[in-house]
Amino acid sequence: MTNKLVTKMLRIIFIPLGIITFVIFPPWDGIFTWLAPLPSSVQEQVDDGVEHGLDGIIVYVDQGGKPSQYYTAGWNNRENKILANANDLFKIASISKLYVAAATTKLVGAKILSLDDTLAGHFPELMGRIENADKITLRLMLQHCSGIPNFTDHNDFQWDKPAKSKEELLDMMLDLPADFKPNEKVSYSNTNYFLIGQIIDKVLGYSRHQYIKDEILQPLGLTNTFSSLNDVNLDDVMSGYYVGLEQDFKSIDFGMLATAQDVGIFLRALNDGSLLNENEQAIYSSVYKYGHKGWVLGYQSIARYHEDIDTVVIQFVNTVSDDTELTTLVVYNRIVEILRDKSIAEKVALLR
């Protein structure tokens, strides 16, 4: 019996089992958090998140025209009883796609890249190894419309033992059937952004991380954003946990790290036009979104700009599991609701 057939059979078994488990053993912490009366302050909501199963949480709030606010609760490191701190470094996971998309936009604006460039045009050796490589454009990869399978769904991928090199990671993606024809639909795939990163490195002749530092981080004065765990002191990194396990996962390198403030400053600049010029902003708007969630083993994050209240809200949580994903999202949405209610109240007060 082939591995693919075994995997298919397991999915047939476990998908309905997962639904049954959700019905019989629902994520009560997330449900109770959602059903509870809305507290009067963000700090109360952050504290409530810890009471409902989150080890540690950091929230950064930037409301236009007001000083930035920071909220923390729970542990940076529960074994050593170190409290969460607003300045802790955090693995931002897929939030890093926003930085890659912005870097790509700048290169397209400078005519170093084109959105119509194909994968095979930059890597002809991938013809026949990645299906439709001659039809998959940079635009389609940015938009997750390429049809290239997601490497984190591969049977050989392990969150606790990531690939040691880009060559090892690339090997997982070769000679697989496409999930769909290019531009047939949208399907989130981490492989897209891995390949975009390789394209950027090739056309620049040096690391995209240095380009992001030069063109994005330094102009915005962001000194607490890093490309790798190798670039930081491990003691400055928030610990990461999986519910039911004692292990701290912070020593596993999963890409970019940053403080909540650095992510917040970047996100506002991306949204208000101060990072990209008018032409670049038009390019970016045509290919990617302006906020993101992130998840790696031990860490989940949300970075969004809420235009109706001109507010950036960044949330870092160092606990993962199926249950805590719901709790994390509910806490975030309730924080935004609290801020929205206060904004409305302030506007009403001004009219009196």
- Two tokens, residue 151: 């490497």
This prediction has a pTM of 0.90
- Two tokens, residue 278: 């008018």
Q: What's the whole-number mean pLDDT along residues 11-22?
A: 46
CB neighbours of 146 closer than 8 A, spacing ≥ 6? 119, 132, 136, 140, 182, 189, 192
3-351 CATH, one of 3.90.226.10, 3.40.710.10, 3.20.20.450, 3.40.309.10 = 3.40.710.10
Helix (H) or strand (E) holding 324: helix 322-351
* pLDDT tens string 328-346: 999 999 999 999 999 988 7
pLDDT at 166: 87
Average model confidence (pLDDT) for the chain?
A: 91
Tell me the domain boundaries of the chain: 3-351
* pLDDT tens string 63-82: 998 999 999 999 999 999 99
Q: What's the whole-number mean pLDDT along residues 162-186?
A: 92
* pLDDT tens string 177-187: 999 999 999 99
Sheet with 69-77, edge to edge strand ranges: 82-83, 69-77, 56-63, 311-317, 299-306, 292-296
